[in-house]
Amino acid sequence: MKINVYKPWGSGQLFLPSVSILDRYLIQEIIPPFVFGVGLFSSVALTVGTVFDLVRQVAESGMAVSIAVQIFLLKMPEFIVLAFPMAMILSALMVYGRLSSDSELIALRSCGISLYRLLIPTLIFSFLITGLTFGFNEVIVPAANYRASITYEQALNEGQLPIQEDNIFYPEYDKIEIEGTDKKISRLVRLFYAEKFDRGQMLEVTILDRSQPDLTQIISSKSANWNFAQNTWDFFNGTIYIVNPDGSYRNIVRFDHKQIQLSRTPLDLASQKRGFDEMNIAQAQDYLKLMKLSGDQQRIVKTKVRIQQKYALPFSCVVFALLGVALGSRPQSTSRATSFGISVMVIFGYYLLSFVTGALGQKEILTPFFAAWLPTFLGIGIASFLLVRASK
């Protein structure tokens, strides 16, 4: 990039950066195929992921066409964002493949311009798309997906809010020491289960309470509400079974209404339930705090992996840009069909690797950080290797 000197009116000088003709040329070449790729990949993904299901609901369940269109529009941001990295590799392959097949790369390199210098405009553009992807995923996509989910459920339930959650399951754990060792193991101290959560009310609640070493309580109740004024649970129409350590019943108590001091976390889990694609990073962090309160290690690890993936996903744009430049710069003719085929293979391989590493992270074979970022690191490493070979 050159630094040109501009002389403003009056005395003095002002130094402003200007984009070289080469940079403008490459960026102007990249933008049209990138826009084409976004439209292509997002429309294909949207059709497969949403349109078929909406058409089936309109035909079989009587969903209104206007509601189906609304859901379709709400789901569009998610698939557009998914198309950004895919379009990045397609545009890079098409542009640099055409430059290579037309011998423009040879002409530029004969003038002393290296492949690394030709990479800079595309790399800068990919970082801009990375920022755009991150912004979409944080601000627009979670809210749109959540609204689409609510609209979909309301339409299937004839305009009424459905029961928000079924099978609320909340275990509480505590660490206990193993006698004769310094090791600690997790011990279940309380288990909260409700069949349904309907507009703030838990229905058909069962609680297993093992918090006291020599006593076990089983609480069964038709319903339970959280008492915000007293920060406790109000249980209605239930029975408390008190069990001795040998398994025999010590006492049975029936009640119409009883207040019990328990954690509010089951209410938070049920009322704030969202899929990971309906949460931004801040909401996922809040959900992680709730999981830590429950002590459910499997869900804690899964949430940590998903949070790291939210950070890592936008940088796939950079990975695909580097791979596109490296593969497109090879001295051979590359048609649009070939570019599309290569793009599909690279995209499939990258997301397959992401799925595998994510699963390994949830199994705690990899840390959440490496589970999310390993495909990015490997992609950058492979692209760097190919760029070094192509530059020779």
Residue 83 · residue 45 · CB < 8 Å: yes
**Chain length of the chain:** 392
Render pLDDT for 241-256 as a digit per residue (tens, 0 to 9). 888 777 666 788 888 9
Bridge partners of 15?
A: 5
- CA dist 325 and 328 (Å) reads 5
- CA dist 143 and 333 (Å) reads 44
Residue 261 · residue 232 · CB < 8 Å: yes
Rounded to 5 degrees, φ, ψ at 62 are: 75, 25
Per-residue pLDDT of the chain (392 residues; tens, 9 = 90+): 443 433 444 444 444 456 678 888 888 889 999 999 999 999 988 888 888 888 888 888 778 888 889 999 999 999 999 999 999 998 988 888 888 777 777 787 777 788 888 888 999 999 999 999 999 999 999 989 888 887 887 777 654 444 456 778 777 777 776 666 767 777 778 888 888 887 778 889 998 888 777 778 888 999 998 888 888 889 999 988 888 777 666 788 888 998 888 877 787 777 666 778 888 898 888 888 777 766 678 888 999 999 999 999 999 999 999 998 888 887 665 556 676 777 788 888 998 999 999 999 999 899 999 999 999 999 999 999 988 887 77
Rounded to 5 degrees, φ, ψ at 279 are: -125, 140
CB contact set of 79 (below 8 Å; sequence gap of 6+): 42, 45, 46, 49, 50
CA atoms within 13 A on the CB side of 358: 17
pTM of the model: 0.72
Q: For tokens 């801040």, what's the residue?
A: 282
Residue 78 · residue 141 · CB < 8 Å: yes
Across the beta sheet with 232-243, what order do the strands follow?
165-177, 184-198, 201-212, 215-227, 232-243, 249-260
User: What tokens does 7 get?
Assistant: 């002389």
Task: Count the neighbouring beta carbons within 10 Å of the beta carbon of residue 258.
Answer: 17
- CA dist 221 and 255 (Å) reads 9
CB contact set of 148 (below 8 Å; sequence gap of 6+): 71, 74, 75
Residue 369 · residue 301 · CB < 8 Å: no
